[in-house]
Amino acid sequence: MFVLQRMATTTGLLLHSPLVTPISPNVSAPRFFLAVSTKFARNRDRPFLPRNKSNGFSTSISVATDSSAPSISTQNEDLVDAHKDQTEKIVLPTNESSEKLLRIRHTCAHVMAMAVQKLFPDAKVTIGPWIENGFYYDFDMEPLGDKDLKKIKKEMERIISRNLPLVREEVSRDEAQRRIEAINEPYKMELLESIKEDPITIYHIGNEWWDLCAGPHVESTGKINKRAVELETVAGAYWRGDEKNPMLQRIYGTAWETEEQLKAYLHFKEEAKRRDHRRLGKDLDLFSIQDDAGGGLVFWHPKGAVVRSIIEDLWKKLHRERGYDMLYTPHVAKAELWKTSGHSDFYGENMYNQMDVENELYQLRPMNCPYHILFYKRRLTSYQDFPIRVAELGTVYRYELSGSLRGLFRVRGFTQDDAHIFCLDDQIKDEIRGVLDLTEDLLLQFGFNEFEVNLSTRPPKSVGNDEIWEKATSALKDALGDKGWGYQIDEGGGAFYGPKIDIKIEDALGRKWQCSTIQVDFNLPQRFDITYVDSNSEKKRPIMIHRAVLGSLERFFGILIENYAGDFPLWLSPIQVRVLPVTDAQLSYCKEVSEKLRASGVRAEVCHGERLPKLIRNAETQKIPLMAVVGAKEVEMQTVTVRSRFGGEIGTIAVDDFVGRIKFASENRTPF
């Protein structure tokens, strides 16, 4: 269960609540995964914590749950214990933890459909399932607006207040067909044809409305708390997800057991909206997607490019320290390469069309793996050369329907932080452990200290023999054991080519994002026939490990924006200091200060042309961490008066001291 926590601390209200939407490697929104925190103390420097007032949000949201799926916290235990006694918990149940909630949501979908058909008799019903944060129902009808939703909600309340019973009935297929024809519901007829089991089950609401349904439902509409139900949005949806079929009106709603739970959910939803990276990306001038260039293609603006550069530099530094060699490889390749790798057969629908170049077919790359294998194959490899670690920030291109694109979370061109390790069988464990260490160190730099780990094992259809699968899976388990991380096993959830570890990070709203993945691959080495020479001068097949830590730079940047609500910590902020003159008479000195800051590696700019209060407000709106105010006295004393976005006026400081404090705070990931 999700937990709502109210803490009487300087960080304000801590609201624990889920966001529940699907996740995939190129994802539009995060799915909330259940987890139990198993915390351990760190001996290294205290990590930067994302839930801190200095990050610029007075309300932050995170999650605790009572599920059995383990997660890992690297947050300092002292910081956790400091607030333990001040916590008041309100439980937000899930469909999995509360059958009552699931029944409420399913019944709400039926009640809503009944209300719609009472108000709009010509509306045709289709399907109405419960979903992770509520329910929806699809209708074939004229487009709906906000006023229509209000009418539907009022009619739902009347139906709930009447406490109508929900009655299950079993009928023959012929009888179900007769009833559907009698009320002229063509979509229900199509659904009936897809039901293979007999008899057919029907649920009635009183004697006034019925639907094909297997349940479950509450006993009567009065079991629903009408103050814990809300209709949220209307969206278009093609029947059965096929764009050749009619466009339907999909009404989304949310339902909870109590009014308090609904309020908590709505508060969370508003907070998520405030942090939406698409809005903040525009307001802060970080990135854009230009219609003239095409959907899903990201333009990194100067400020966003600064953050990206910081991420890339840190990524490269940590990889070089751990023995990775950097690669740059082409963005296109012969179509034959993708046939050899199997991407054309298994991933063709996500690839762009082939192009003819001098009577040879080429194709944009959807992945980097084949290039790294070609690099490996360039020369004969000895067993003494292992492990071989290569890494690349490689841009890939994947075909996505325009309707599935969403900001930085689902795009058509993105840069993966890709790496591959070639090693011997008995090196798998140590290499996996090294990747786990690297993953933790890199994610901690950005304030992510809550992880959930899943180990996926051999699926029914797979390549490779039993021995190598068992050896690889055991190596992954042993590496996780050495690391001291708890994990959940996803039996049969591995890729067909090998077992894998997926690591999800928790943001300031408690949402879980899968960024890091570690996959053992028995398939591509075989497809490309890569070998090495062992100690007996015989050719053997090496093990290949795929791994990514951040996932893609675009998606990770979107996560960072929402995690910090655009208020990046000082070390990551695109502009660290804005120098502000009281009048234009100080402008020349302001420029000198700005130049000195930039020469010392501090990202600074001068802003003028408005009254000082307006300049300060503009800097705060743009989420600039520090302001250096310059008046006549500061010019005379060769100082600046420093103002923090969150701490207010700090005081007058010599410029050299100002530079030193900024550099110290940036290097140590501490507030100014």
**Residue 559's CATH number:** 3.30.930.10
Please tell me whether residue 241 adopts helix, strand or coil conformation.
helix
Mean pLDDT of the region 366-377: 96
The residue annotated as part of the active site, out of 398, 477, 578, 643, is 398
Is 56 within 8 Å of 89 (Cβ atoms)?
Answer: no
Tell whether pTM > 0.85: no
Which residue, 271, 303, 332, sits at the end of a domain?
Answer: 271
Q: Is the pLDDT of residue 357 over 50?
A: yes
Please provide residue 371's backbone torsions phi and psi, each rounded to the nearest 5 degrees.
Answer: -65, -40
pLDDT tens-place string over residues 27-72: 333 333 333 333 333 333 323 223 333 333 222 333 333 333 334 4
Same domain, 363 and 455: yes
Say if residue 118 is exposed, middle or buried (CB neighbours under 10 Å; 0-12, 13-18, 19+): middle
Question: 35-49, 228-242, 642-656: lowest mean pLDDT where?
Answer: 35-49
Task: Specify if 88 maps to a domain.
Answer: no
Look at residue 284 and tell me if it is in a domain. Answer: no
Q: Which segment of 5-9, 202-206, 223-227, 240-244 scores lowest on mean pLDDT?
A: 5-9
Question: What CATH number did the domain enclosing 224 receive?
Answer: 3.30.980.10
Q: In the chain, how many H helices and how many E strands?
A: 19, 34
Whether the CB-CB separation of 50 and 14 falls below 8 Å is answered with no
Confidence (pLDDT) at 91: 67
For residue 218, give Cα distances in angstroms to 32, 127, 160, 256: 26, 18, 11, 13
Instruction: Tell me if residue 398 is catalytic.
Output: yes
Residue written as tokens 């084949």? 370
Instruction: Give the Cα separation of 431 and 424 in Å (integer).
Output: 10
Six token digits for residue 39: 């915390």
Structure confidence at residue 216 as a pLDDT band (50, 70, 90): very high
pLDDT value of position 306: 98
Same domain, yes or no, for 155 and 205? yes
Residues 634-646 have a mean pLDDT of: 94
CATH of the domain at 594: 3.40.50.800
Please indicate, yes or no, whether residues 473 and 426 belong to a single structural domain of this protein. Answer: yes
Q: Which residue has the higher pLDDT, 14 or 306?
A: 306
- Higher pLDDT residue, 168 or 77? 168
Q: Report how far residue 508's alpha carbon sits from residue 10's, in angstroms, rounded to the nearest whole number.
A: 16
CA 142 to CA 423: how far, in whole Å? 60
DSSP 37-95: EEE---SSSPPPPSS-GGGS-SSEE------S-EEEE-S-HHHHHHHHTT-EEEEE--T
Choose one of 510, 530, 564: the last residue of a domain: 564
Residues 307 and 430 in one domain: yes
Name, in order, each residue with C-beta under 8 angstroms of 30's C-beta and a sequence gap of 6 or more: 19, 21, 23, 507, 511, 512, 513
Q: What average pLDDT score do residues 615-619 get?
A: 96
pLDDT (mean) for 257-285: 94
Does 540 reside within a domain? yes
Residue pair 166/108 in contact by the 8 Å Cβ criterion: no
Q: What is the tens place of the pLDDT at every residue in 394-419? A: 999 999 988 889 999 999 999 999 99
Domain boundary among 215, 237, 271: 271
Q: What is the mean pLDDT of residues 88-92?
A: 62
Q: Which residue has the higher pLDDT, 269 or 52?
A: 269
Q: Residue 546: phi, psi to the nearest 5?
A: -90, 145
Residues 560 and 581 in one domain: no
Given the residues 217, 420, 578, 623, select the one marked as catalytic.
Answer: 420
> Is 418 among the catalytic positions?
yes
Is residue 544 in a domain?
Answer: yes
Q: Are residues 251 and 368 in the same domain?
A: no
309 and 201 within one domain? no
Q: Express each pLDDT in 519-544 by its tens digit.
A: 999 889 999 999 999 999 999 999 99
Angstrom distance (rounded) from CA 306 to CA 442: 18
CA dihedral 21, 27, 32, 37 (to 10 degrees): 180
Tell me, yes or no, if 416 is annotated catalytic.
Answer: yes
Is residue 607 among the annotated active site residues?
A: no
Q: Is 54 a member of any domain?
A: no
Query: Would residue 71 count as lying in a domain?
Result: no
State the pLDDT confidence band at 89, using cuts at 50, 70 and 90: low
Given pLDDT bands bounded at 50, 70 and 90, which one contains residue 616?
A: very high
Kind and range of the H or E run holding 619: helix 612-621
Predicted local confidence at residue 433, as pLDDT: 96
Task: Tell me: do 550 and 581 sit in the same domain.
Answer: no
Residue 32 lies in a domain: no
Three-class SS of residue 79?
A: helix
For residues 366 and 487, state if they share a domain: yes
Which one, of 122, 128, 109, 136, lies nearest residue 183 by Cα? 122
Q: What is the pLDDT of residues 528-585, one digit of tens each?
A: 999 999 999 999 999 999 999 999 999 999 999 999 999 999 999 999 999 999 999 9
Q: How confident is the model at residue 464 (pLDDT cuts 50, 70, 90)?
A: confident
Task: Provide the 3-class DSSP secondary structure of residue 203.
Answer: strand
User: 494 and 634 share a domain?
Assistant: no
CA 119 – CA 141 distance, rounded (Å) = 12
Q: Name the least confident of 48-57, 101-110, 512-521, 660-669.
A: 48-57
What DSSP element (H or E) covers 628?
strand 626-630
Consecutive H or E run containing 558 = helix 553-564
The H or E element that residue 560 is part of is helix 553-564
Would you call 174 helix, strand, or coil by DSSP?
Answer: helix
User: How much is the pLDDT for 90?
Assistant: 59
Is 317 exposed, middle or buried (CB count within 10 Å of its CB: 0-12, 13-18, 19+)? Answer: exposed
- Residue 496 confidence (pLDDT): 82
Residue 239's domain spans which residues?
Answer: 99-271
419 and 487 co-located in one domain? yes
Total of domains in the chain: 3
Residue with token string 């001038």: 285
Identify whether residues 330 and 444 lie together within a single domain.
yes
Instruction: Summarize the confidence of residues 166-190 as an average pLDDT.
Output: 95
* Residue 546 annotated to the active site: yes
DSSP-H helix ranges across 184-323: 186-194, 259-274, 277-283, 302-321
> Considering the chain, what percentage of its residues have pLDDT values greater than 70?
86
| Rounded percentage of the chain residues whose pLDDT exceeds 90 | 77
Tell me what the pLDDT averaged over the chain comes to. Answer: 86
Classify residue 472: in a domain, yes or no: yes
